[in-house]
Amino acid sequence: TATESRNFIEQEIEKDLREGVYDHVCTRFPPEPNGYLHIGHAKSILLNYGLAQKYNGEFHMRFDDTNPTKERMEFVDSIKEDIQWLGADWGDHLYFASDYFDVMYECAVKLIKKGKAYVCDLTPDEIREYRGTLTEPGKESPYRNRSVEENLELFENMKNGVYKDGEKVLRARIDMASPNINMRDPILYRVAHMTHHNTGDKWCIYPMYDFAHPIEDAVEKITHSICTLEFEDHRPLYDWVVRECEFDHGPRQIEFAKLYLTNVVTGKRYIKKLVEEKIVDGWDDPRLVSIAALRRRGFTPESIRMFVELCGVSKAQSSVDYAMLEYCIREDLKLKRPRMMAVLDPIKLVIDNYPEGEVEYLEADNNLENEALGKRMVPFGRELYIEREDFMEEPPKKYFRLFPGNEVRLMNAYFVKCTGCEKDENGNVTVVHCTYDPETKCGTGFTGRKVKGTIHWVAAPTAVKATVRLYENLIDEEKGVYNKEDGSLNLNPNSLEVRECYVEPNFQDAKAYDSFQFVRQGYFCVDSKDSRPDALVFNRIVSLKSSFKL
Ligand code: ATP
Ligand code: MG
Ligand code: MG
Whole-number pLDDT of residue 550 = 63
To the nearest 10°, report the CA torsion of 95, 97, 99, 101: 160
Is beta strand 537-542 parallel, antiparallel or unpaired with respect to 464-471?
A: parallel
pLDDT greater than 50 at residue 525? yes
Report yes or no for ipTM above 0.85: yes
For residue 500, give the 3-state DSSP assignment.
Answer: strand
Give the Cα separation of 463 and 415 in Å (integer).
21
CATH T-level topology, domain 339-542: Ribosomal Protein L25; Chain P (2.40.240)
- DSSP reduced 3-state for 122: coil
Phi, psi dihedrals of residue 11, rounded to the nearest 5°: -65, -40
> Residue 484 Cα, ligand 2 centroid: separation in angstroms?
24
Domain ranges within the chain, ordered by starting residue: 8-256, 339-542
Give the helix/strand (H/E) hosting 78.
helix 73-86
228 lines ligand 1 (CB under 6 A): yes
Ligand 1, atom 22: closest residue by C-alpha? 41
Q: Which residues are annotated as a binding site for L-glutamine?
A: 64, 209
The pLDDT mean for the chain works out to: 95
Ligand 1 close to Cβ of residue 232 (< 6 A): no
Q: Is 41 in the pocket of ligand 1 (CB under 6 A)?
A: yes
Mutation to probe ligand 1, out of 228, 230, 320 (largest number of atoms < 8 A from CB): 228
Ligand 2 centroid – CA 54 distance (Å): 27
**Is 339-542 the same fold as 8-256?**
no
Which class would CATH give 8-256?
alpha beta
Q: How far is the C-alpha of 213 from the C-alpha of 207, rounded, in Å?
A: 9
Q: Is the pLDDT of residue 313 over 70?
A: yes
pLDDT at residue number 71:
67
Q: What's the pLDDT tens digit per position in 426-447? A: 999 999 999 999 999 998 999 9
Contact 168, 158 (CB under 8 A): yes
Closest residue CA from atom 9 of ligand 1: 31
Indicate if the pLDDT at residue 348 is higher than 90. Answer: yes
Instruction: Identify the nearest ligand to the CA of 209 by its number.
Output: 3
Q: How far is the CA of 253 from the centre of ligand 1 (A)?
A: 15
pLDDT the model gives residue 72: 78
**Residues, CB within 5 angstroms of ligand 2 (ion):** 32
Task: Give the Å distance between the CA of 33 and the centre of ligand 2.
Answer: 8
Ligand 1 geometric centre to CA of 190 (Å) = 23
Q: Which of 430, 429, 390, 434 shows the shortest CA–CA distance to 414?
A: 434
pLDDT at 85 over 60: yes
> CA nearest 546: which of 330, 354, 378, 371?
330
